[in-house]
Every structure is written in C-alpha cells, then in structure tokens.
Structure 1
Amino acid sequence: MQLITKAPTEAGLDLELGYGAQERAVFAQDPARSRGRLFPEPESPTRTPFQRDRDRIIHSSAFRRLKHKTQVFVYHEGDHFRTRLTHTIEVSQIARSLARALRLDEDLAECLALAHDLGHTPFGHEGEDVMHECMAPFGGFDHNAQSLRVVTSLEHRYAEFDGLNLAWETLEGLVKHNGPLVDGEGRPLGKFAGSQLPFAIREYAGKQDLLLSSWPSAEAQAAAIADDIAYDAHDLDDGLRAGLFAVEDMKAVPFLADILAEVDAKYPGLEEYRRIHEIVRRSITRMVEDVISESFRRLKELDPQSVEDIRSCGLCMVGFSPAMEAAEKEVKRFLFARVYRHEDVLAVRRQVARVVRELFAYFMQHPEEMPAPWCNALEEAAEEVQARRVCDYIAGMTDRFAMDEHRRLFDDTPDLG
C-alpha cells in the first residue's frame, strides 16, 4: 500500500513524496517494454533488463578501474579526495533519489549513472583534453563516446559477444543523456555542431539506431543532472579540504553564502569539518529538491502519456529551475577560478599532460610495446586504426598504471609528489 504525504523540505518546497511500493509513472521507461539487445539473449527470471545491465556494469573491468582514476586530485594527494569511482557512486545515489521522487525506473537511472564515466581517461579532464589533441588527426576523443565504446566493444568478458550487450534504453541514455546529438537532418548539434560526431558513436550507429535526434528517457535526464549536482558538491568539499580556498570565500557566491549563513546561525562555533559537511549536504539537498519541483512543473505542463512523449517533446523534462540554473552556474564559475584553475592543480595537470602525450607518441612509434592483444595485427594496419588502438589502451589506464608505464619507457617521469 502506498502512502502519499506532504514533505517539508530544507528549501521550503512542498513536495508530494511516495513511500512504499510506488507505481511507475506513465512516462517512465517500462523495463517490460525494452527494445531489447543487439545480440538477443534469454530474459532473466529474477532481474529486469535494467537491473541486469546495472550488474554487468558493476562487474566490468572498466568500472573497477574508476577506483584509481582522477576526479580532480591525483591519487597521491590523499585518500579522502574523490576518485571517478566515488564520484560515480554519489551520482548514482542522487539519480536514484530523483527517479524515486519522479516515479521513474530507478534501476535504469542508476544504471546510467554507474556507466556515465566508464570512458574517462586517466588524470581526469586533463587526460581527456590531451587525448583529444593527440587524436585530432583521427577524429578526436570524447569520454562520453568512449563510454559507449567500452560497453559495446572493449569489454571482453562474454563468450558470445564483445562489450556488455546492454539494453537499447541503456545505450540510448548513455550516448545522449545531455540531449539530442543531431537535428532532424542528421547535422551534429551542441559541441559537435559544424564538425562530426565522435568515432565511437558514428561506428555504432551503423549497428543500431539510437535515435540520436530525440531526447532520451527521463531516467537518462535524471542521471545527467545528478552528475552536475554531485560534481558541484564534492568539488566544493574537496577544494575546501585541500585548502585551495576557505569557507569564508564562498560568501562571494549568493547561493553558498545563504547556506553558510543558515549553518552558522543554527550551529555557532561548529567545528570546521562539520561546518563544511553541513554546507555540502545542504547544497545537494537544495539542488535535488529544486530539480524535483521544477521537473514536476514541466511534466504537469506537458502531461506526457508515455516515454515516447518524453523523447519527442523537444524539451528537457528533468532539470533546474531558471533561478537554480543561474545559481549553479555561479557555483561552477567559483569552482573554475578557485579549484580547476588553482596553480597547485594546474601544476599537476601540466605534468600529467606530458605523461599522456608522451605515452601516445611512443606507442604510435612502438606499438609492439603494448601488451597482447593490444599490439596484435597492427603491422599492416592503417595509421588511423593504430591510433584508435593506442587511444583505447591509454584511455583504459588508471592514473597509477599510466605513471608506471611512463616510468618503464622513459627516464624522466614527473614526480607528482
């Protein structure tokens, strides 16, 4: 039996929350209506397709490697900073919360959150930027597209197929969680406008149509906004704990200043680490509650009667209100100036950039130095094929393994300590 109650919230919202066995909304993705898998398989008697996908992602090699991949701070800088894995877990928690409140399929939302960073290079966005630079003559590099490549090609665990053979809805949400990739005429949109879609997406499009011109499911949209919320909150936390800025510096951002004043008024003289945690958790709560409230408003206005209505409406259904969107952008500008462009962070980024750049150049000249099967059948391969193989190899590395490989091949590996 479902209990519906009005829940008071920290942001002062009046939300209807369901507890107990919730009925899925008509616009949610129904696992029983999945479009299936590229390689047909018997259905599981105990799990829905999306629960099965989640389990395959968690058990993949790429998921385990996230433990040793940089979020912002490289592994040597401390055990309490986020890694790609802890970031991913936080995104999945927020995605599930949003999905539960909006009566979406929680398993699909969680699945997409868990998979969204599988294609990230070592050393975070610096590694991605350098890889894109190295791959520029061969179509570039994009970590979202690489995530698709990981789950459709690079994981070699199953006897009957490469990749994880995930459901169509999981692949769709993974590829276009930020919105359509092409317009109705097939022209690339957003950051790909005037160019072409990444190699992995173009390659897979020939095997399965992921409807690149439409919006994805509401579950994918929930996972996408959960990524932003988690990113903002934990980078504030890590930046404070790393001493890159002080709590008082956050008063320059009205959204954060308001939360800080609230915490200090309620808990005067609170220890600094508890003070930081209160600020971070309240930031997450306010953003989550705003997304829920705004998404309810948009859904009520559209009144979608199916997941196909979500895909074809031409609008994002799960997102921030205009006021929160502006506030969140201010938080990102603050983090960009105080964390991502901080000289201590930039100094490490310059060093790891050299590691990735030199590894790529070396393996292009000496592909035999890569282990089998990475180096197999490259003697007569075209340069583009070799470059993609080198790219896949390096992109799959953890921070530590990339440093070890550089140390094995070069005499002047940077000392990140």
Structure 2
Amino acid sequence: MEERARRLAALRDELNAEEDRRLAPLAARHTQGLRRHPDQRPGHRQNYAQDADRILHSKAYSRYIDKTQVFSLIDNDHITHRVLHVQLVARIARTVGRFLRLNEDLIEAIALGHDIGHPPFGHEGERILGELCRQHGLPLFQHNLQGVQFLENFERKGRGWNLTLQTLDGILCHDGESHLPRLAPCRGKDFAALDDEIRRKEQEPLLPLRPLTLEGCVVRLADTIGYIGRDIEDAIELGLITRDELPADCTRLLGNSNGAMVYTLVSDLIDHNRHLRESDSPGGADDWLGFSPDIAAAMLHLKKFNYERIYHNPAFKPDFNRIRICYQVVFAHCLAQVENSMGQGQPGAPLLDNMTADYYRRHTPAAQARDYVAGMTDAFFLRQAAELGCEPPERRCLPR
C-alpha cells in the first residue's frame, strides 16, 4: 500500500508540473491551494479536485435535490431545482475556464458549492430566515455566508471538510453584480482576510466582495448565465410569460431561447477575455474578466425584465404568508429544543446530537437553530411544519 501511495503521489506531482505549462499565467495552481489545517494524508488527488469531491460527498450537497431554485410547490417535473442550476453553472463555468486556460477543478469546486447555503424555498426563504435571525440577535441570513458555514463548521458533525481557501472564497464571493464592465480578482487574501470579510459582510450585508481568483470570477458570471435564460424557459413552461414578450433589444443580441442565450453569453465571455490566456501580471491592467459592453447592457436589461415579470410576479408565488408562519413555528421549535438540551446537559440533542464540543461552544442556541433550519429541504421543512400544527400551502399546477 505504501508503494502504491508513492506511485500515485508521483503521478500527482507530474500533473502539477504539467499544469504550469498548460494553464494561463494568472490561473490558480493546485500547489497554491491553502487549507486551514494541513491534510495529514494528502493522497494522490490534486487540491481543488479533492475539494470538489468533498463537496459532492457532503450531506448538504445531497439536499440540493429538493431545494427551490425559483418556482416553489409546482407540480411540473421539468421545472428547474437548485441541483440542476448548480450543475448547469459548473458546466458553463468549466467551458469558459477551459478556453481561458484557467483551473477547471477549482472552478468546479466553487460552482458545486456556491449555492449550498440556500435555505428552504430559495430567496424568499432566505428573506424570511433573515428576519428571524435578526429577531434572535444573529446577523442577517445570507446564503453565501451560510455556504461557508456549512462546509467549514457544520458538516461532519462540526469538523467541516477543510476545503482550500480558494474554494471557500469563491463560494463566499459568488454573489454580486455580474453585468459590470470588469470584475477583477482581489489578490493576496489569506484565511485571516477570509474571516474578516465574513465578519464585515455580517455587519454590512450590501458590502461588495470580489473573489480571490479568476476562477471565482468565472463562476460568479456563469451563475447568471446559468439562470437568466433557464428561468425564462421555466416561466414560459408555466404560462407566466410568452416568448414574444421578451425585450426585442435583448433577443436581438442574446437570442430568444435559453440555448441561444447560453451560447451567446459563453462565446462573448471567452472572446472578450482572450487576454487572460497570456496575461502574467497579478493585479495588473489585464487581470480582470467581463462581458463586452453591448452584451453586458443587454443582460442587465434582461435581468430587469426577469425581476419584473418573473421573480416579483405574484401569479407564481405560493402563499408566502403561510410559509412565513411555518418558518416562525419551525424555528421556534428548533430553538426551544436546543435550549432544553443545553439545560439538561445534553447539548444538541436530539436535533444536533454528536456535534463537536467546539461547535456547541462557538454557536449560540439561535445559531444552532439557524443552521438546522437552513439545512432542511423544502419537503422536510413542510413535514416539520405540518407536524407542529401549521397548514403549509399545497403543491399546485399553474394554468397554461
């Protein structure tokens, strides 16, 4: 076994050496991956590939399967769920990264984990849980912060997955404007800087953050590519809008279907950032990523259309007043259970049993309740609410 490990480690080192010849000068190298705690048994996998594997095997990733993307409680199996969105973003981002000679393993790890902190019922659930957090003395709930929280402090009974700084930073910084002319990475971060950004973001939710790596920048832009046209297709499928209603100036440049939009946006992102294949000055004039001006303007216009006609359209929303009541009841129940278990000298039982002592020490009862509720799938959340006497909204079919 030891001889096999040595042979595999030698192959890993060969891959790392080939990487220096293959990747763009400003791309992230596996050998640059920093972990908060050095792995005792590094094995044959390269750093960011190991991150992607760990995220895929996490329980939080498994729960993507029943998390709302945009449309909740809809009886239509073709409507996008969070797990499909994450896969689309990973695929889109890897394609862009390959053409720009960036690190595809880091891109994949960030993309797979970027939405792992979303609570039940998507952004509406995030707003409701944010209200409850504020009422109980916690910072406003933000899914990007919660994603880092899950992967660093909650998974594996509180031990976390010990992911690299570069992956955690990409997850933290994936949320933000994607139509700006240029998104430049914020080079030179370490774990102290990551922790400081988390603290500052808790205090100032609107604080803009920039990823440490170009790979993180790619995922941030691919996130928009992954949802903007797909949400339109879902809305058309549900009869909320028609294709003829799409803004003409947007469809002229981007196309009028999700497939055309993805192709146009990916092609533009690759072509407009060809300079990254050879640029070699970190923080220099060419260390940035962005869409061409016309495409960026069209995408911004289309996002505004989506917000007005889809995301804020009351026709597709379930009764979120009832969802809010469910959140209040479920959160209060979880908080009471945590507080009772602490009073009986059995911290966490039965909700968060067998977590590390460090987790209990560092997290108030309200924070433990937040972590538990945020990790629920939509279906599990509704079952819990029903068992506690709530009347959750029912699944429905929208008229075509």
TM over 0.5: yes
State the match for 2:371 in structure 1: 392
Q: Which amino acid aligns with 2:365?
A: Q
Alignment match of 2:234 (pick from 238, 255, 261): 238
1: CA distance, partners of 2:365 / 2:65 = 28
User: Structure 1: how far apart are the matches of 2:353 and 2:152?
Assistant: 20
TM superposition shift of 1:414: 2.9
Match of 2:153 in 1: 153
Map of 1:172 onto structure 2: 169
User: 2-side partners of 1:35 and 1:181: how far apart?
Assistant: 16
Note closer, same or farther for the CA distance 1:155–1:315 as it changes in structure 2 (3 Å cut): farther
Partner secondary structure for residue 82 of structure 1: coil
Distance 1:384 1:38, change over 3 A: closer
How far has the Cα of 1:279 moved from its partner? 1.6
Residue in structure 1 matched with residue 214 of structure 2 by the alignment? 218
Q: Does 1:23 align with 2:18?
A: no
Matched with 2:260 is 282
Displacement of 1:415: 2.7
Cα gap change, 1:165/1:376 in structure 2, threshold over 3 Å: closer, same or farther? closer
How far, CA to CA, are the matches of 2:383 and 2:147 in structure 1?
A: 24
Check if 1:363 corresponds to 2:334.
yes
Which residue in the other structure is 2:315 paired with?
344
Displacement after TM superposition at 1:365 (Å): 4.0
CA distance in 2, matches of 1:348, 1:319: 38
Between 113-122 and 32-41, report the one with greater CA deviation. Answer: 32-41
RMSD of aligned Cα (Å): 3.4
Structure 2 CA distance, aligned partners of 1:35 and 1:129? 33
C-alpha distance in 2, partners of 1:140/1:313? 35
Q: Does the 8 Å CA contact 1:60/1:155 hold for their aligned counterparts?
A: yes
State the distance in 2 between where 1:296 and 1:146 align.
34
> Alignment partner for residue 62 of structure 2, among 61, 64, 69?
64
Alpha carbons 1:253, 1:331 under 8 Å: kept = no
Q: Could you list the runs of 5+ residues in structure 2 that have no partner in the other structure? A: 1-19, 177-183, 342-347
User: Counterparts of 1:68 and 1:316 in 2: how far apart (Å)?
Assistant: 38
- Aligned equivalents of 1:258, 1:90: Cα separation in 2: 22
> Within 5 A, what are the aligned runs for 1:13-412?
23-45=22-44, 47-136=45-134, 137-156=137-156, 162-177=159-174, 178=176, 196-198=200-202, 215-250=211-246, 252-257=247-252, 279-297=257-275, 299=276, 304-305=279-280, 309=282, 312-313=283-284, 317-367=288-338, 372-374=350-352, 385-412=364-391
CA distance in 2, matches of 1:258, 1:24: 31
Q: CA deviation at 1:382?
A: 10
Distance 1:63 1:402 in 2: 17
Q: Which consecutive segments of 4 or more residues in structure 1 shift more than 6 A?
A: 179-182, 375-378, 381-384
Question: Once the 2 structures are TM-superposed, how far is the Cα of residue 383 of structure 1 from its aligned partner?
Answer: 12
Query: Any idea what SS the aligned residue of 1:346 has?
Result: coil
Percent of aligned pairs with the same residue?
28
Deviation string 1:69-98 (CA, Å, 9 cap, x unpaired) is 000112543211111100000000001001
What is the aligned residue count?
347
Distance change >3 Å, CA 382–CA 410, structure 1 → 2: farther
**Structure 1 residue identity aligned to 2:168:** L
Structure 1 window deviating more from structure 2 (405-414 vs 66-75): it is 405-414
* Equivalent position SS for 2:153: helix
Q: CA deviation at 1:128?
A: 0.5
Shift of 1:145: 0.5
The letter for the 2-side match of 1:325 is A
Q: How far, CA to CA, are the matches of 1:99 and 1:383 in structure 2?
A: 38
**Paired residue type of 1:374:** L
SS in 2 for 1:344: coil
For 1:214 and 1:73, locate their aligned partners in 2 and report how far apart those are by CA, in whole Å.
Answer: 29
Q: Which amino acid aligns with 2:280?
A: Q
Residue type of the partner of 1:296? Answer: R
Contact 1:50/1:107 (<8 A) preserved: yes
Separation in 2, partners of 1:126, 1:257 = 32
- Which consecutive residues of structure 1, in runs of 5 or more, have no partner in the other structure? 1-20, 202-211, 261-277
In the alignment, the residues of structure 2 paired with residue 322 and residue 174 of structure 1 have an alpha-carbon distance, to the nearest angstrom, of 26
Deviations 1:351-400 (A, max 9, x none): 3233223322333345459862527899xx99971111111010000000
Cα offset for 1:231? 1.1
Q: Is the 8 A contact 1:69 1:75 kept in 2?
A: no
Q: Distance in 2 between matches of 1:354 and 1:257?
A: 44
Q: TM-score, normalised by structure 1?
A: 0.74
CA distance in 2, matches of 1:86, 1:346: 20
With over 3 angstroms needed to count, the CA separation of the structure-2 counterparts of 1:246 and 1:22, relative to structure 1, is: farther
Q: Distance in 1 between matches of 2:41 and 2:83?
A: 31
* Contact 2:29–2:103 (Cα < 8 Å) also in 1: yes
**Alpha-carbon offset, residue 319 of structure 1:** 1.9
The one-letter code sitting in structure 2 at the alignment partner of 1:280 is N
Contact kept in structure 1, 2:111 and 2:219, CA below 8 Å: yes
Q: d(CA) in 2 for partners of 1:259 and 1:305?
A: 32
